A = this chain, B = another copy of it.
């Protein structure tokens, strides 16, 4: 009864199919962080980790009645298979949404996807062979890095500053990669209210970035889930509006309406769009008609722009709660003040390591995402991402207070025992499910 259990080495002994996996699958491993996030999802924990939107503010009674009518009156369409490219009436309404950022397009240019995550996956499927280079901001959206890693891409980060991606750094990187004979397929960028960086690419830099990419023959993948969620001003023109042939644009209803329907979209140059549709049909046949009709009906009959304005007010209030709490409780750290979106990117005081601190934070009933999730090589442990989108302002303040106790205790340890952090090697985690 006390026989020794064999130690599983990468599943070689316990997994009979270990020898059958594709190359790419060997790096698909659940990180320890996932177990941690299972704990972090308990109600007593204040999660500043997830990018879950605050959907409590939606008019649920009216939305319920809307979905009832869709099934009763158009059920034979809503419950049936649909077009691989997506419902045409939804694609038309998506044009209205994009017009707010200056995009002019035709419904034929739009491909509806299962969240914009699927669009990321399709673009990567269509463009990336193993070893191809994707240039991306440092840091970058963890879910995009997950897709790029799953496709065995070589991700090269380019730094940002308070005005977004730095054109000179991009140009130097592309020149260096070209000189090294590397094949750069696209630039992945989140220009508005960056995840996790919180910054926005200025209007002045946008054409410059597009010119640099054009001159190196590099496609731009503009991922824009947060563009309409600015607090202080109208949205900037999308990069797609400045270069229809040089940009694939990704949009989403997950942050401006609701992620539960899983509806996003891509807008791409004609020939690319055709391949995206074929890739999507191979992957899922067609997106959900029921979901698409819910979104299309919402856009048709509800004041969706008014709802976005409400979200802006709510998120602004939450950002304010977070920023003032940080100033009050963790003044040793530094951070940017985002003017839209969901995230504050916090630099920890010298000597602290966000990744090794996380278990202690969760024990103190507060969760965040360590900065290492947003770098392909697992660097960035001196940062953490704090989300203010989901908890109420009171909960945010309480979360930051709890975090402050952990930071103080870590700083005390560093003062006594010195800095154990610096040399810590970055390890790569496959993204946990709820850190969007």
By a beta-carbon cutoff of 8 Å, the part of chain A in contact with chain B is 11, 14-25, 28-30, 50, 52-53, 55-56, 58, 60-61, 63-65, 67-72, 75-84, 114-115, 117-118, 121, 125-129, 132, 143, 146-147, 149-150, 185-186, 217, 219, 245, 254, 258-262, 269-272, 274-275, 278-279, 281-291, 294, 430-431, 433-434, 436
Inter-chain contact A127/B434, CB cutoff 8 Å: no
Knowing that A22-B128, A283-B283 touch, tell me 14 more A-B residue pairs with CB under 8 angstroms: A15-B271, A17-B272, A58-B75, A78-B260, A79-B259, A81-B259, A81-B436, A114-B262, A114-B287, A118-B284, A262-B291, A282-B431, A286-B433, A291-B291
- Asked if B80 and A258 sit within 8 Å, CB to CB, the answer is yes
- What residues of B have a CB within 8 angstroms of the CB of A254 in the complex? 81
For A149, the chain B residues whose CB sits under 8 A away are: 282
A272 — nearest CB in chain B belongs to which residue?
Answer: B17
CB atoms of A150 and B125 under 8 A apart? yes
Tell me if A81 and B269 are in contact (CB < 8 A): no
Query: Are the CB atoms of A282 and B64 closer together than 8 Å?
Result: no
A24 / chain B contacts, CB cutoff of 8 Å: 125, 129
Is the CB–CB distance between A60 and B72 below 8 Å? yes
Determine how many copies of this chain the complex contains. Answer: 2
Q: Judge whether A56 and B76 touch: CB under 8 Å.
A: yes
Do B271 and A11 touch across chains, with their CB atoms under 8 A apart?
yes
Identify A114's interface contact among B21, B114, B143, B281, CB under 8 A.
B114
Closest to A132 in B: B22
Q: Distance in Å from the Cβ of A199 to the closest Cβ of chain B?
A: 23
- Docked-complex contact B21 and A126, CB < 8 angstroms: yes
Chain B contacts of A25 at CB under 8 A? 125-127, 275, 279
Tell me which of B83, B185, B271, B282 contacts A121 (CB under 8 A).
B282
Q: Known contacts A17-B272, A285-B143, A288-B260; is A55 also within 8 Å of B80 by CB? A: yes
Known: A129-B23, A283-B283, A290-B291. Is A84-B259 also a contact (CB below 8 A)?
no
Question: With a CB–CB cut-off of 8 A, which chain B residues contact A71?
Answer: 60, 63-64, 67
Indicate whether A271 sits within 8 Å of B14 (C-beta atoms), given known contacts A79-B258, A80-B259, A288-B260. Answer: yes
Closest to A283 in B: B121
